[in-house]
Amino acid sequence: MERIKFSKEYFTILISTILLFTIGIIMISSSSTEYSRRYFDDSFYLLKKHLLHAMAGIVVLAFVMNIPFNKYRYLSYLLIFVNVILLILVLIPEIGISAGGSRSWIDLGIFSLQPSEFAKISLIIFASDILVRKKKSINRFIHLVIPLLLISAIITYLIFLQPDLGTAVIIWLSLFVILFTGKVKFRHLLLILIIWLLIVGVYITKAEYRMERITSFLSEYSSEDTDTNSDNYQLKQALIALGSGGIFGKGLGKSIQKLAYLPNPHTDFIFAIIGEELGLIGSLFVVVLYLVFAIAGMSLCLRTKNQLGKLLAVGITIYIVGQALINIGVVSGLLPVTGVPLPLISTGGSSLITSLVSIGILLNIAKGEKSELDYEDND
């Protein structure tokens, strides 16, 4: 039996994941204490919960990274079916639970399941599988519409109903890159993009608070805004955190903004706490880790000749790094406010486990015998 050889991408992805994962635990231990004390009467409540999710995620990652990625072709339809059922269940008041204005979770007692998070990796697997199956007829638009675009539209619609625009954007960002890598005709991609932008435009205008987010982003925010639920207030507090950290930061655990000033300091706005406590140096280190992850993922995509592996690699890379860029863009005021967690760092069991499952698949593509990165599709 030929000895297994690990690629340089394998070690790069693994090390960057471990570092981001570790930073996440450290920053949650710092950013969540006041929030946990105030709402759960236990300063370490969210940290302990995150550690449980982290241990579960590590076990799942270790399991997934040893499953040959080609096996997911036989699970793609099942994954989509299960996700559609879960996304329907979450909308039922007696089953789904609401938080932050969205009905996105199913309470399972010891664990709250967020189906929209698992929809990200499920659609990446499904889209990659469909493009491989239909590679000989990929230039015929009808083969994209049924079933790929139809299924993607159904899942997007169910996510819109929660409502959750941020997750839908991340899903379609990955899908567009997968379609491009799969050599779908440019005019077909352009048509899909135009339709998608029109749908998003209509979706935004249908809710006053979504329109307010856009107008708030486009207008100059008021430093006198004291409404803690307003986007201007959240952005102001995030920018204060980032700016007050300076070059080297105030020091771990010394954030002022996490003391009831910055909403969600352990989830959507944890990057602001990183900037405040670890400074520009710490913030740039996190950004560089995501950049290194992106380079390794794209390098893996380019090296892998197996079409399924190539599409999975680019889809997962764009999902992880794209979500990180959106989160950082929101916190730094470069993008409108949307509830998107920072992958591997923010709290959230479904988000963390989905990220680790996705990275496990990526590591499996990067792991194996020397020839495994270079084998051609057999079908």
From CA 232, how far away is CA 228, in angstroms rounded?
A: 9
Residue 231's pLDDT is 62
DSSP 110: S
Q: Is residue 378 part of a domain?
A: no
Whole-number pLDDT of residue 14: 96
DSSP 8-state symbol, 148 = I
pTM of structure: 0.92
Is residue 3 in some structural domain? Answer: no
Nearest residue to 85 (alpha-carbon basis) of 96, 74, 75? 96
| Residue 370 pLDDT | 44
Closest CA to 159 of 116, 117, 191, 125: 116
pLDDT at 379 over 50: no
Lowest model confidence (mean pLDDT) among 256-260, 266-270, 304-308: 256-260
Rg (CA), the chain: 21
Instruction: Provide the mean pLDDT of the chain.
Output: 88
Number of domains in the chain: 1
Is 2 among the domain residues? no
Range 235-270 burial, b when 16+ CB lie within 10 A, else e? bbbbbbbbebbeeebbeeeebebbeebbbbbbbbbb
Beta-bridge mates of residue 113: 106
Under a CB-based contact definition with an 8 Å cutoff, are residues 312 and 128 in contact? yes
Q: Per-residue pLDDT for 375 more than 80?
A: no
SS3 state at 336: coil
pLDDT of residue 209: 79
370-377: average pLDDT? 43
Q: Is residue 203 part of a domain?
A: yes
Give the range of the structural domain holding residue 127, as residue numbers without chain letter: 8-372
pLDDT digits (tens, 9 = 90+) for 51-78: 999 999 999 999 999 999 999 988 999 9
Q: How far apart are CA 13 and CA 1, in angstroms?
A: 26
324 has a pLDDT exceeding 60: yes
Given a contact cutoff of 8 angstroms between Cβ atoms, the answer to whether 335 and 325 are in contact is no
Report yes or no on 379 lying in a domain.
no
Structural domain contains residue 377 = no
